[in-house]
Amino acid sequence: MSTGKPFSALILAGGQSSRMGQDKALLQLNGQSLLVHMQQLALAAGASEVLISRNKPGFIQDASGQFGPLAGILAALKHCTSSHLLVLPIDTPRLDVISLKLLLQKADGTASYFANSPLPCLLPVTAALSTLIATQLHQGLRSVKSLLAQLNAIAVPISPSELLNANTPQDWQRCLDIFSNGKLYAKA
């Protein structure tokens, strides 16, 4: 899939943020919320629409808030208007446009993800995908990694430091330190 083809983006911001102790989507980065930051990243990468999975009024909500990212993806598929869906977790602020475009280019019409993590990922939007996710959830399997394996997704190399996940206050402080030092792409 070339980056010239339309794609939708989904930001997964429906978690409970229990390890962070506060709503990760509302954390401030360079004067804006992490949610706004991730929306801008998706648009800069070329998304034709940005969907937000967030178990709050005004957003796409899971049928049940307890089934993790797959439930958020399944709920968003009903709203997706493109043939592919770029799924972005809310808590990876170090991602950049260049890496996301690489992920899109390497997919060539199939599913792709970064080799070190199942999220972010790019999924083909099909009825079969919805069925596959629904079946997996019905079986109690909540693993995005398992879904990607079933889709024979392409693993795209990336620096692990770019996928720094901000799950705890310490992780978030580390991200802020990297951003404030102007070392956006420094090794973590």
How many C-beta atoms surround the C-beta of residue 161 within 10 A?
14
Domains of the chain, first to last = 8-180 (3.90.550.10)
For residues 27 and 176, give the distance between their C-alpha atoms in angstroms, rounded to a whole number: 10
pLDDT at 186 over 50: no
Q: Which pTM does this prediction carry?
A: 0.86
pLDDT at 22: 64
Split at pLDDT 50, 70, 90, the class of 26 is confident
Q: How confident is the model at residue 112 (pLDDT cuts 50, 70, 90)?
A: very high
Dig out the tokens for 87 from the structure. Answer: 């799924």
Rounded Cα gap, residues 110 and 124, in angstroms: 6
At residue 34's C-alpha, the angle toward residues 186 and 181, to 5°, is 30
Closest CA to 125 of 77, 75, 70: 77
Distance CA 60, CA 24 (A): 17
- Structural Rg of the chain based on CA atoms: 16
- Report residue 184's pLDDT band, with 50, 70 and 90 as the boundaries: very low
Residue-wise pLDDT for 46-83, tens only, equals 999 999 998 888 899 887 656 789 999 999 999 999 99
Q: Distance between CA 74 and CA 12 in Å, rounded? A: 11
* Mean pLDDT of the 13-26 span: 68
